[in-house]
Structure 1
Amino acid sequence: MPRYVALLRAVNVGGTGKLPMTELKAMCIDAGFADVLTYIASGNVVFSSKLAAAKVKAALEKRLQAYAGKPVGVVVRSADEIAAVLQANPFPNEPPNTTVAIFLDEPPARNALKDVKGQQDEQMRLGKREIYVAYGSSGMGRSKLKIPAAVQGTARNINTIAKLA
């Protein structure tokens, strides 16, 4: 049975989208997913399912909307895809806690970084369905970086991706 990772967008970050991980786990079990594990409170869940990734995404989004009363973005990757994202990190010498992959549903356009605003010392690279960002010395908290192509994505730092993998 395939193993998946679901990454929820804007959950338990900065006081928005409160969702206890026990509730998320219960939703996954209710959807028929097996071997469900959550990782930290920012909307990361690992599980097994016989369903295809698109059906997993739809089942989880339906339950999350019923719970939250509004759409909650979900990105789904297979376990192998998560491992590949980690391996493809174009910034292996940058600190893993300030280097992120922004997960997208679709591959980014080749010119996805053209309209970036507020770039200081951040480095960016496109992945298969990700945008990698290594935040420079100013760090994520002080960064003014805006990536329009990533607005519907959800970011995880390399440390989190490694744990999920």
Structure 2
Amino acid sequence: MTTYAALLRGINVGGNKKVPMAELRALLEESGLGAVRTYLQSGQAVFTSEHGDEEALAAELTAAIERRFGFPAGVIVRGHDYLRAVAEACPFPAADLQPKQLHVTYFSVPVDAARFAGIDQPAFLPEEFRLGDRVLYLYAPDGLGRSKLAEQLSRPRLTKDLTATSRNWNTVLRLVEMTAPAQP
């Protein structure tokens, strides 16, 4: 049995695409997933499954959410080892930063630097980004809401053909904790 986190893209933002967490938990349980828990209202769920295929789980959950709620919501599913590796590989000094300054954008597929080659990174300093394994780390000293670089990074041409969803550093760390194997 593996513990996974499901990251839903674009739900419960500005009163749109409402997905009550109690209903999301019920949907996941009805889908045969175990030990279902949610975190915050912005689309994180943790569950156990013997399935073993993150992409298949994501596709199943995407279809189930559309059937239940009547709109598409991109879903990325990742296990504890991956989530922990993402946190550990952070290229920025996370311990020295406020959580609102550091964000991780998870991608459904690997991306390469060529996708972002058109962004003039020095023009956005002190904001910076770095790519990792199916993630983008963003340092935005004034927060995501004021980040001009985040605006550029979310342009449709950069996220074409993939699901991308961002989380602040507190949520990144919380998901690592929530998906950790139980200690005997």
Normalising by the residue count of structure 1, what TM-score does the alignment of the two structures yield? 0.91
- Asked if the contact 1:125–1:132 (Cα under 8 Å) also holds between the matched residues in 2, the reply is yes
Residue 124 of structure 1 corresponds to 129
Q: Would the alpha carbon gap of residues 56 and 108 (structure 1) be closer, same or farther in structure 2, given more than 3 Å must change?
A: same
Following superposition, the deviation at residue 98 of structure 1 comes to 2.1
The amino acid of 1:58's aligned partner reads A
Q: Secondary structure at the match of 1:111?
A: helix
Shift of 1:160: 0.5
Query: Which one is further off, 121-130 or 94-103?
Result: 94-103
Query: Are 1:12 and 2:15 matched, yes or no?
Result: no
More helix by share: 2
Amino acid at match of 2:148: K
Per-residue deviation, 1:110: 2.2
**Deviation, structure 1 residue 71:** 1.5
CA contact 1:89–1:132 (8 Å) conserved in 2: yes
Q: CA deviation at 1:29?
A: 0.2
Query: What amino acid is aligned across from residue 43 of structure 2 in structure 1?
Result: G
The one-letter code sitting in structure 1 at the alignment partner of 2:108 is D
* Structure with larger Rg: 2
> Which residue matches 1:160?
171
**Cα distance change, pair 94–115 in 1 and its aligned pair in 2 (3 A):** farther
SS in 2 for 1:112: helix
SS at match of 1:97: helix
Q: Does the 8 Å contact 1:100/1:157 carry over to 2? A: yes
In the alignment, structure 1 residue 144 sits paired with structure 2 residue 145: no
Q: For 1:125 and 1:150, how far apart are their aligned partners in 2? A: 16
Q: Which amino acid aligns with 1:129?
A: R
Q: Over aligned residues, Cα RMSD in angstroms? A: 1.7
Which residue is 1:32 aligned to? 32
Partner SS, residue 171 of structure 2: helix
Q: Which residue of 1 aligns with 2:84?
A: 83
Partner SS state of residue 37, structure 1: strand
TM-score (norm 2): 0.82
Rounded to whole Å, the distance in 1 between the matches of 2:133 and 2:139 is: 17
Give the counterpart of 1:114 among 103, 114, 117: 117
